Amino acid sequence: MTEVALLDSVVTFLSKPLGSFIDGAAVVDGQAGAIDIINPATEQVIARVQQASASQVDAAVAAASRAFQGSWAQTSPYLRGVLLNKLADAIEAHGEELAQLEALNSGKAINVARGLEVAQSVIFLRYFAGWTTKINGESITPSLPSMAGEHYTAFTRREPVGVVAGIVPWNFPLLIAVWKLGSALATGCTIVLKPSEFSPLSLLRLVELAKEVGLPNGAINVVTGAGQVGQQLTEHAAVRKVSFTGSVPTGIAVGAAAMKSKLTRVTLELGGKNPAALLADVNIDEIIPGLLMTAFTHQGQICASPERIYVHRSRIDELSEKLGAALASLKIGSPLDESVQFGPLANKAHYDKIVGYFARMGEGNQVVTGGKTVGGKGYFVQPTLLRTTTPDDLFLTEETFGPIVCLMPFDTDEELLELLNDTPYGLGASLWTNDLSKALRMIPRIESGTVWVNMHTFLDPAVPFGGSKSSGIGREFGSAFIEAFTELKSVMIRY
Ligand code: NAD
């Protein structure tokens, strides 16, 4: 095993006092106790992060409010774009440092941390930077008749909603934070981010870079801690919008609290039980690398990853054999080893959840490969492939958010559509086929925020992303994010 050498900057960052970042400064006074940050590959404490106290959450929102009315409001759209691009440049320049922090903190294989988390953060931020100068209302000709020769004209303005609370899960702590801060700052909002208590490190480094490149104090703040910090933000009187990414139960609680508090706007990006459907004509050899990547990158801990794969009955044995063999050959090991393809689960709580699922295997399904822990130190489990013939199998219905994929055969297209839609979730789905005509006819009948064809879990900043049904409310990316982070003001003029 050869691990990449940790950069001096990473070692220095981990050894310094860490905590919230409010109004341009780190807050490490320890009012509310500290959280141990664990490396999931070794189970060792790699850093300690001070939790935000209630008064520090108030201070972060107050700083964001001041910046919203002051420095950020006075920063022209052009300069906002320049600053976001500078931040993207800084992420790129510090890419290895951020990737190493991610590998250490969330167990992401270093190549995935570099090529996906960090590289995509740069791409998305530059995309948002491009929008700052293109956010406009429209000019409208009112429809009412003139009574006494008077005229009317009207226009709309897209105005930033104000202070945004951005609540981030543990799986992509840098990238998902960038989606939220990029959307907020591009539209003229300011933001208070709350990373997961398990994986706050890369975001805490990012905000230091934001200060270095000249983002005004208070434009981006971070409050650290567990769920109660997120709840305080959600219910805060000065927060005008909550952008939440996480599980369905927490999302429902956040949505309800935001509504009850004062009809605070919400975007909820939640979990899924995403299906992939392999039609009869599919070339199994060609698609195995794509399926492997989409279902098992970052140990399957990606919201849109497919966990249930419906395969035409004529092809399921071939898929099961070949996918099983490919999974069994994945190299499992340290996220800092560049040859490793499969690291540990991201934290102990999630490891315990997946081990719990392993204990329930075999009640009606067949284990093709995996299904066990790896042993030794770290939260390592085997990538796992199951088969079932029961549509309500546990592994076709509950989101595991881990490296467990279940195969199920189907015979007809009508049966397939029923299986795809038989879930409360609706985040992502994919069809794998060369029959594009059939795919185009099926797409309108699939209840899902995104449908991919011959691909899955590809997120592009230009393409809106979000959940239907219980997988969420609202869309991120594309031009759709603008609606979520702005109010539409109508102006009517009589002359
Ligand atoms: P989670 O819901 O447990 O936590 C998400 C965040 O919410 C964390 O920062 C947590 O501290 C905070 N939180 C917890 N209770 C809260 C409360 N009452 N009020 C406000 N904030 C609170 O989710 P997780 O375990 O961190 O992440 C995994 C889940 O996230 C999976 O279900 C996955 O599908 C989903 N996810 C969705 C997307 C998407 O874009 N749709 C992306 C990534 C992850």
- Spatial separation of the C-alpha atoms in residues 354 and 360, rounded to whole Å: 10
Catalytic residue among 269, 307, 399, 476: 269
Q: What ranges make up the beta strands (E) of 19-105? A: 20-22, 25-27, 34-39, 44-50
pLDDT, position 223: 98
Q: 249 C-alpha vs ligand 1 centroid, how far in Å?
A: 9
For ligand 1, whether the C-beta of 171 sits within 6 Å is yes
Q: Which amino acid is at 231?
A: Q
Whole-number Å distance, alpha carbon 163 to ligand 1 midpoint, is: 20
Nearest partner of 394 among 402, 406, 384, judged by Cα: 406
Q: What is the mean pLDDT of the chain?
A: 97
269 is catalytic: yes
Q: Answer yes or no: is the C-beta of 199 below 6 A from any ligand 1 atom.
A: no
Mutate to test the pocket of ligand 1, among 37, 164, 171 (most ligand atoms within 8 A of CB): 171
Residues 6+ apart with CB under 8 A from 31: 50, 53, 55, 56
| CB 66, CB 24: distance < 8 Å | no
Q: How far apart are CA 154 and CA 491, in angstroms?
A: 5
CB distance 246 to ligand 1 below 6 Å: yes
Structure tokens at 226: 């567990």
Contact 216, 185 (CB under 8 A): no
Rounded Cα distance, 268 and 248, in Å: 9
Predicted confidence at residue 147, as pLDDT, reads: 84
In total, the chain counts a number of residues equal to 495
Residues 308, 371: Cα–Cα separation, whole Å: 16
Question: How far, in Å, CA of 428 to CA of 161, rounded?
Answer: 28
In angstroms, the Cα distances linking 327 to 40, 303, 371, 446, 466 are 21, 20, 12, 29, 29
The protein residue with its alpha carbon nearest to ligand 1, atom 13, reads: 227
What DSSP state is assigned to residue 297?
G
User: pLDDT per residue over 76-134, tens digit each?
Assistant: 999 999 999 999 999 999 999 999 999 999 999 999 999 999 999 999 999 999 999 99
Ligand 1 near 227 CB (within 6 A): yes
Q: Report if pTM > 0.85.
A: yes
φ, ψ dihedrals at 276, nearest 5°: -120, 140
The b/e string for 469-494 (b: 16+ C-beta within 10 A; e otherwise) is bbbbbbbbbeebbbebbbeeeeeeee
**Domains observed in the chain:** 8-270+472-491 (3.40.605.10), 274-460 (3.40.309.10)
Give residue 31's pLDDT band: very low, low, confident or very high (50, 70, 90).
Answer: confident
What is the per-residue pLDDT across 219-249, written as a single tens digit (0 to 9) for each? 999 999 999 999 999 999 999 999 999 999 9
CA of 182 to the centre of ligand 1 (A): 19
Q: What is the pLDDT of residue 323?
A: 98
Which distant-in-sequence residues (6+ apart) come within 8 Å of 288 by Cβ?
322, 323, 326
461 contact partners, CB below 8 Å, separation of at least 6: 123, 124, 127, 128, 477, 478
- Nearest atom in ligand 1 to the alpha carbon of residue 231 is 19
> Residue 288's pLDDT is what?
97
- Dihedral angle sign, alpha carbons of residues 249, 253, 256, 258: negative
Q: Would you place residue 455 in the very low, low, confident or very high pLDDT band (cuts 50, 70, 90)?
A: very high
d(CA 67, CA 55): 18
User: For the segment 352-406, what is each residue's pLDDT rounded down to a tens digit?
Assistant: 999 999 999 987 899 999 999 998 999 999 999 999 999 999 999 999 999 999 9
- d(CA 66, CA 87) in angstroms, rounded, equals 21
**Residue 250 near ligand 1, beta carbon < 6 Å:** yes
